[in-house]
C-alpha cells in the first residue's frame, strides 16, 4: 500500500489585482481585473499530492470567514482530506498581490490564522502520524511549531521533507538533524549557507555544508538547470525537462508533491526526483498556482514521452 502523506503548513487566499503599472505611494490606480486564488505553500503541496493520486491530508488553519470556507471547499474539491484543519477565530491568511503589465508585482502577506498554528495542531498531527508516513513541511507557519512537528515526526520514525521557504534569517540548527530530505531552491540555499550559488562547485559545497549541519539528504532545486542531490552515500545531478515555461510560481511546490508521491509508492530517491522534476516542469507550462498542478495521468504521459 502507498504510504500516507501529511502536509502541515499554510493555507492562504491570494487576492490578485491586475494593473497597468504598480502604484506609487499614495496613488490610486484603476485595475483591469481581480481574482481570488487559493494558495499557501502547504495547501499547494497538499493539492499537488492529491492530484497525483497520493493520500493527501492537510493540517493547518483557516479563518472563521468567507475566505476560510472557500479555501476548505477548494481543498476538498481537489481531493485533500481536511478533517484536521482548524477553523480559527482570526481571519484567513491572505496575500494582497498587484501585478502590472510587465509581470512585476507587489505583495503584502497577512498570515492571519496561519500565524496561530500551535501545539494543539501538532497534537492533531501526532494522532495520525505513523512510522510509514511522509510529512511535508514548509516555513509559512510559526518556526517553533515547525520544529515541534519535525520533532514529533522524527520520534515516530516518519519521513520528513522540509521545503525551507521562505528561508528565515536564522534557521534553527537543531531542525536540520530532524530533516530527512531538505529541498531548497538556489536562492534559499544561498541564504542558508551564506554564500551565492553561481557554479557547480558552489552547489556541491553548499550541499556539503547543509549535510554537515545535520540534514540527511539535500535536493537543491535549480529550475531550468535541474536538481542536485547529495545523500550520505551518493551525489548526483538530474537534468531538467525541456518545456515551454510561462509561469514558474508553483514549480517548487509541484516538485515536492511529486517527490513525496513517488517516495510514498516505493520509488528510489533518484527516480522520485525525476518524478518531482516532471511535475515541476509541467506546472510551469500553465499560469496560476494550484490550477497549474498536473494530475497523475498527465505526469505519467509526459514521463513516457521522454523514454527513447
Residue positions annotated with a catalytic role: 253
Query: Which is nearest to 220 in space by CA: 181, 171, 186?
Result: 186
Omega prior to 146 cis, within 30 of 0 = no
Q: Write out the DSSP string of the chain.
A: -PPPEEEES--EEEEEEE-SSPPPTT-----SEEEEEEE-HHHHHHHHHHHTT--EEEE-EEESSHHHHHHHHHHHHTT-B-TT-EEESSPPEEEEEEE-TTS-EEEEEE-GGGGG--HHHHHHHHHH--TT-EEEE-SSS-HHHHHHHHHHHHHHT-EEEE---SPPSS--HHHHTT-SEE--BHHHHHHHHTS---SHHHHHHHHHHHHHHT-SEEEEE-GGG-EEEE-SS-EEEEPPPP---S--TTHHHHHHHHHHHHHHTT--HHHHHHHHHHHHHHHTTSSSSGGGPPPHHHHHHHHHHH--
For residue 138, give the nearest of 213, 41, 264 by alpha carbon. Answer: 41
DSSP string, 213-267: HT-SEEEEE-GGG-EEEE-SS-EEEEPPPP---S--TTHHHHHHHHHHHHHHTT-
Amino acid at each position: 500500500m502507498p504510504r500516507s502523506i501529511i502536509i502541515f503548513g499554510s493555507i492562504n487566499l491570494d487576492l490578485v489585482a491586475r494593473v497597468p503599472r504598480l502604484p506609487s505611494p499614495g496613488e490610486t490606480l484603476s485595475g483591469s481585473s481581480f481574482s481570488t486564488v487559493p494558495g499557501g505553500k502547504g495547501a499547494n503541496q497538499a493539492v499537488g499530492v492529491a492530484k497525483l493520486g497520493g493520500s493527501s491530508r492537510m493540517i493547518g488553519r483557516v479563518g472563521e470567514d468567507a475566505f476560510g470556507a472557500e479555501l476548505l471547499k477548494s481543498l476538498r474539491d481537489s481531493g485533500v482530506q481536511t478533517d484536521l484543519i482548524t477553523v480559527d477565530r482570526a481571519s484567513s491568511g491572505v496575500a494582497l498581490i498587484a501585478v502590472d503589465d510587465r509581470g512585476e508585482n507587489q505583495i503584502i502577506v497577512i498570515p492571519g490564522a496561519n500565524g496561530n498554528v500551535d501545539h494543539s495542531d501538532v497534537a492533531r498531527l501526532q494522532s495520525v502520524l505513523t512510522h510509514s508516513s511522509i510529512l511535508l513541511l514548509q516555513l509559512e507557519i510559526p518556526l517553533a511549531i515547525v520544529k515541534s512537528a519535525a520533532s514529533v515526526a522524527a520520534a515516530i520514525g516518519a519521513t520528513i521533507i522540509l521545503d525551507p521557504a521562505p528561508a528565515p534569517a536564522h534557521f534553527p540548527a537543531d531542525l536540520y538533524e530532524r530533516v530527512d530530505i531538505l529541498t531548497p531552491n538556489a536562492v534559499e540555499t544561498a541564504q542558508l549557507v551564506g554564500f551565492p550559488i553561481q557554479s557547480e562547485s558552489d552547489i556541491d559545497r553548499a550541499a556539503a555544508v547543509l549535510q554537515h549541519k545535520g540534514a540527511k539528504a539535500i535536493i537543491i532545486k535549480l529550475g531550468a538547470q535541474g536538481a542536485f542531490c547529495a545523500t550520505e552515500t551518493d551525489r548526483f545531478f538530474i537534468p531538467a525537462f525541456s518545456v515551454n515555461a510561462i509561469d514558474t510560481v508553483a514549480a517548487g511546490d509541484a516538485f515536492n508533491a511529486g517527490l513525496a508521491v513517488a517516495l510514498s509508492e516505493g520509488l528510489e530517491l533518484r527516480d522520485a526526483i525525476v518524478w518531482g522534476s516532471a511535475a515541476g516542469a509541467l506546472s510551469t507550462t500553465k499560469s496560476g498556482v494550484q490550477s497549474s498542478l498536473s494530475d497523475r495521468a498527465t505526469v505519467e504521459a509526459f514521463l513516457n514521452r521522454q523514454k527513447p
